[in-house]
A = this chain, B = another copy of it.
Amino acid sequence: MKVAVMGYGTVGSGVVEVIESHSEIIARRTGGEPLEVKYILDLRDFPDDPHQEAFTKDFNDILNDPEVKIVAETMGGVNPAFDFTMKLLGAGKSVVTSNKELVAQKGLELLEQAEKSNANYLFEASVGGGIPIIRPMTQCLAANNIEGIAGILNGTTNFILTKMIEENMSFEAALKLAQDNGYAEKDPTADIEGHDACRKVCILASLAFGKHVYPNQVEAEGIKNITLEDVAYIQSANGVIKLLGQIKYINENKIAAFVSPAVVYNGSQLASVRDVFNAILVRGDAVGDVCFYGRGAGKLPTASAVVADIVDCAKHIFRKKIFGWGAGDEDYVVDYKAELEMPFYVRAKMSEAQAKATFGVVKYLSRPGQPSDEVAFITDYMTENELKAKLEGAEVLNVIKVTNY
C-alpha cells in the first residue's frame, strides 16, 4: 500500500524510518500488506537523503495520485496542514497525524469531513507521543462513564521539574539543561507556559466527552513561578509538583478543563513519572483509575504511533472507524476558578497566627532555612476565587493547586 508523508522534520523522518525498518512486523499487522512511502512533501531540500525519488514540493502530486490512500501529516501548525488535510479527506484518502495544534483547533471540522468522505482521520500520536491513549480511552473504556482525566502531558516541563525536585536545580538552570539536551526549544514558551499541554487537554476532553473543546477555553498556567522553596515545602508534605492537565466531568453540558502546576502526593501513579516521560490517568466509574505511561515525545516513539495509525487505516481502508466528537459551545467549559473546589498550597509572608485566623486549621509545611516571617500550608477544599478573596491584602509568594489524582 502506497502512503505519503507530509513534513520531513523529526517526526516525519521518523515515520519514514519506522516504515522501512519495521516492514516485517507492519506487514504482519496489516495482514500481509507492506507499506511503501511514495511521496515525501517538504519545501526544503535534503540532498543527502536516500529518498530523492520520493520528495516533492507539490501537494497536488499526493492529492491527485489515486494510488495513495493514506497520508501521514507531520507538518505541525494549523496552516497549511488544515487545508491539505481537508482536501485529502475530501478526496477520500485517510489521514493520520501527530499535529496536536491542528487537532485541537480544527478537529471537529476534520472529523466531519472524514465522516462525510468515509475516510479515517486518526491522531494517536497527537497526545502522549508513543503512549497508546486514544484507542484505550474510546474502545477499552467504552463501558465507563469517565469521571475525570489528569495527565503529565509535556515532557520538557516534567524534565525541568524533575531536575528541580531531585537535584535542587533552579528553574533557569534546568531549562538551560533541557535546551542543551534538545528537550526544549530555543523559545520554550509553548512548553513552559503550558500551551502544548493545553492542546492535548483539548483533544482528550473532546474525545472523552464527545464535544469539541478549543484551546482558548482551557486556561493554562505554566511552571515559571515554581521555586525551589515551593519544591522543598511540598516535599515535606510527601508530594511533588507536576504540570498537570486536568479534566473533570460535571454534567452532560459542563466540564472543567485546565492546565497548571499541581501538588501530587507520592503514592499517585503520576508522582513517580520522571524526566521527559508522560502519563495520563483516566478515572472511570467502573474501572477506577487506569494510567498510561511512556515517552510523550521524541522521533521514534511519536513516529511509531503515527505508523500504528497508518497500519490501522490500511486494515480499515474500506470501513470507517468511529472516533470523533460533535460541536461544543462557549459555555461548555466552566470557569473552574468559580466552580471547582480543591485544596491549595499557599506560601506567604505572614505568621501562622494570621494563616489560622484566615483559613482555620490548616496543614503547615516546613523547609530547611525557612525564614521566620514565611509560612506555607495546605488549605481545606475551596474554590480558587474563595481562596483569592481570603488572601486579599496578604503578601502571597505562591499558590499551587492540590490535585486529587
Contact = CB atoms under 8 A, between A and B. Distances in A.
A301 B289 CA distance: 9
Interface string A286-299: 11111111110010
Contacts of A298: 288
A303 B140 CA distance: 11
Given A136-B135, A284-B304, A286-B300, A31 B322 contact: yes
Contacts of A106: none
A252 B61 CA distance: 39
Interface in A201-250: 210
A342 B159 CA distance: 30
A304 B28 contact: no
Interface in A352-373: none
A57 interface: no
A295 B287 contact: yes
Number of copies: 2
Contact of A322 (B124, B305, B315): B315
A145 B141 CA distance: 26
A142 interface: yes
B308 A25 contact: no
A272 interface: yes
Contact of A288 (B142, B269, B286, B295): B295
Interface centre among A28, A130, A286, A293 (most CB of B within 10 A): A286
B286 A290 contact: no
A210 to B, nearest CB: 7
B144 A124 contact: no
A19 B142 CA distance: 11
Given A272-B272, A287-B301, A319-B319, A139 B31 contact: no
A387 interface: no
A399 interface: no
A274 interface: yes
Interface in A260-276: 267, 269, 271-274
A22 B284 CA distance: 12
A312 interface: yes
Contacts of A149: none
A305 B292 contact: no
A394 interface: no
Contacts of A290: 130-132, 292-295
B25 A143 contact: yes
A314 B139 CA distance: 12
Given A135-B136, A294-B289, A300-B286, A311 B143 contact: yes
7 contacts: A131-B290, A132-B136, A139-B308, A272-B272, A284-B304, A286-B300, A292-B293
The 8 closest A-B pairs by CB, nearest first: A132-B140, A290-B294, A143-B307, A286-B304, A132-B136, A130-B287, A291-B293, A272-B272
Interface of A: 18-19, 22, 25-26, 28-29, 31, 124, 130-132, 135-136, 138-145, 210, 267, 269, 271-274, 284, 286-295, 298, 300-301, 303-305, 307-308, 310-312, 315, 319, 322
